Structure 1
């Protein structure tokens, strides 16, 4: 919904402030969660240290690629200084990497308490996917989408991410 001044408002008439930086953080968080989930799949025979390094390194490579793509896509806020743009996108895209910590930490902790690697990996994947759905639906809500649309975003997010995880699983 839009208020009289064109600003987004929620169902109770409260103004919602959700700018481009927040939108990029939501996008980066969703993307990072999906990368973490799909990277964890198939690491059954990998040592715990290698698993941690592989998931974090994979997300760091995607993060660097994401920042590069946004940087060459145009200057931030009309700035012509390339380093300003790089720093801006490094900051707002950081959730892409930080979202990997919880699923990976969960896999490590479950392994330490004796849970089998397959079960620990499934728990890590589910954790990443739950995070992904929560962030996507929260983003849709704060964008001012109607409740039905927010639910559809959640369902579609879960279906698409599950399809990607299953596709990766089928490779292993």
Structure 2
């Protein structure tokens, strides 16, 4: 199931880029956690990451983001960035609850199909938010997608066709 019009927002987010393969992801998360500890930064919310490369390629470029309690970041760290406010809206959302490696790729495909079928424009990368709740692990997956100005004009200047979706993004 895909839910439109979602958003991600956090305060005081520190981020770092990583390049590698899918099987290197855990190592990247551990490295970033170690870097946060070295800087004496306190994680305030779940770590999440954006996929900045083509999701079908073996090698990936990701940016890991962590909301922190502190309201600053030591400027000596050129490899880390800090945002006092992280906000992305107009996101499509779905969730993966099992067989994460396989089903994450299927979720990406499903979100991309939604974009294509509804004449949407991608405006933000995939965001993956791993979560644990009541002892269950799952991944929330978001993709920034909005109506293009052309598709908006077409929707409002043409009579509605029977059986056509009226999703507004």
> TM class by shorter-chain length?
under 0.3
Select the structure that is richer in helix: 1
Select the structure that is richer in strand: 2
Q: Which structure exhibits the higher relative contact order, with contacts defined as CA atoms closer than 8 Å and separated by 6 or more residues?
A: 1
Normalised by the length of structure 1, the TM-score is 0.23
